[in-house]
Amino acid sequence: MPRADLPPALRFVATCLACAAGGPVAPVRRALPHVAEDWPAVLAAAGRHRVDVAVAVALRRADWTFVPAAIREALTRTERAASLRALSQTAETERLSQALEAAAIPFFTVKGPPLGLLLFDSATVRQSKDIDIVVDPDAVDAATAVLRALRYEPTDQEAHFTPRQRRAFRSIERHSTFRSLNRGAPVELHWQLNADNLFDFDVKAAWKLRTPVRIGNGAVPVLPPETLLLYLACHGAGHAWFRLKWLIDIAAILRRWDDAAIRAGWDMAVAEGLQSVLGSAFLLARDVLDAPVPPDIEAYAEADPAGRRLTAVACRAMVEDDMRRLSPHFWWSSFHLRPDWSYRTRHALRSLYAPNDWTRFPLPDALFPLYFLMRPFTWLGRGGLGEPVVRRAGNAEG
C-alpha cells in the first residue's frame, strides 16, 4: 500500500516514522501545514500503532513549535514515561544478563532497549513493555531458577501444571511470562524463537555469532544480524503488521545496515523457505516508510504471488482499528508464512491446544488426551476464532 493511500492521520504518522527510521526530515516539514484539525487523529493513530515516541522524535527534528501545545504536552508525557520505563528495563536487562552469564547459560535478548539502541541509538524510540530473553530448551529450568532468585515468579498457568501438562506446554508454546516481585518489567523467557518451528534456531550455535550491544555499564548479546532480520520479519508478518512499530524496525535496518548484512538475511530467508515473508516486509517498508530495498530483491518480491498476498493482508490490517475484525487477518497471515503443509498442519493443530482448559478442567495426566476432544466446545464457548486472536493482539507489545 503506497503511503498516499493511507488515511490522512496515519499517512502523517508514517511520514514521521520514515524520518525516525533514518529518512530525511523534509517530508515531515512539508506535511506539517496540512495536518490542520487532524492532530487528535494523529495522536490516536500514533497510540494505536505504539509509535508515539518515534513520532515525537520526528516532530522535534522538523518543527516542534508548529505542533499545537496540547499535542506537544501529550507527546512529552509519553516520552517521559517511555524514558523512565526504558531506564528501568535497561538496568534490569543488565542485571538479568549478569545473572545468566554467572550461571553459564547462553542467551540472547530479543527486542526491548537493546534492539532500540542497535537500530535507533536510543532505548526509548522503540516502545516495549517487557523484557524478552531466549535460551536453549535444555536451559529453561536453569534460567527459571535464575529468574526466581532475582524475585521473579511465573504468571502463566505453568506454575500449576502437572508434569504431563508442562511437557505439552513447552513442546507447543514458545515462552513463559514472569512478573517481577520488585514491580519491574515482566520477563518473557523464550525457548523457541518463533511459533510452530517457523525456522531453525540453535541458541548454542548462534551464541558464537552474537552481537554485543552496550547497555548501562556492560553489554548484552542480541541475535546475529541475519537471524534478527528474519525474526523481526516473521514476528511482524505473524501479526499481519497491524502495528507500524514493527515495520519501523525493518525500515531502520534497510537504511542503516550495509548491503552485505541485508543480503545475508535474505539468503537465510531463502534457505529457510521464508523469502515471501521477508520480501513482503521489504516492500511494506518501501511503500509505507520510504525504505530503500536492493533492486534485485525488490524485483523478486514484486513478482512473488505469495509475498503479494501477505502484503495485501497487512495493508488491510494496519488500517483496521477494530481488534476483533483483525482476527481473520492474523490467522490467515500466520497460516501462510510457510508454503509447506507440515508447518501449516502444526499451525492448525495449535487450535486444539488450550492451556486455559487444563487449569479450568483439571484432569489426571492419564486422561490428558481428553483435552483435545473438549477443545472444540471450549473454543466455541470463548468466542471461536476471535477471542484468542484478539487477546493475542492486545498482548503484542514486543
pLDDT above 90 (res 43): yes
Is the CB of residue 25 less than 8 Å from the CB of residue 62? yes
The CATH code of the domain at 86-223 is 3.30.460.40
Q: At 220, list the grid cell.
A: 548484552
Q: Which residue has the cell 499545537?
A: 68
Average pLDDT, the chain: 88
Q: What is the pLDDT of residue 390?
A: 40
Task: Note every long-range contact of 350-354, with CB atoms under 8 Å and residues 24 or more positions apart, other chains counting.
Answer: 350/172, 350/195, 350/196, 351/375, 351/379, 353/168, 353/172, 354/378, 354/379
**C-alpha 23 chain-centroid distance:** 22
| pLDDT tens readout for residues 65-110 | 889 999 999 999 999 999 999 999 999 999 999 999 999 999 999 9
CA separation for the pair 311, 333 (Å, rounded): 9
3-state SS class at 113: helix
Q: What is the pLDDT of residue 226?
A: 93
- Read off the pTM: 0.89
Q: pLDDT grade, residue 387 (50/70/90)?
A: very low
Q: What is the pLDDT of residue 342?
A: 80
Average pLDDT over residues 204-230: 88
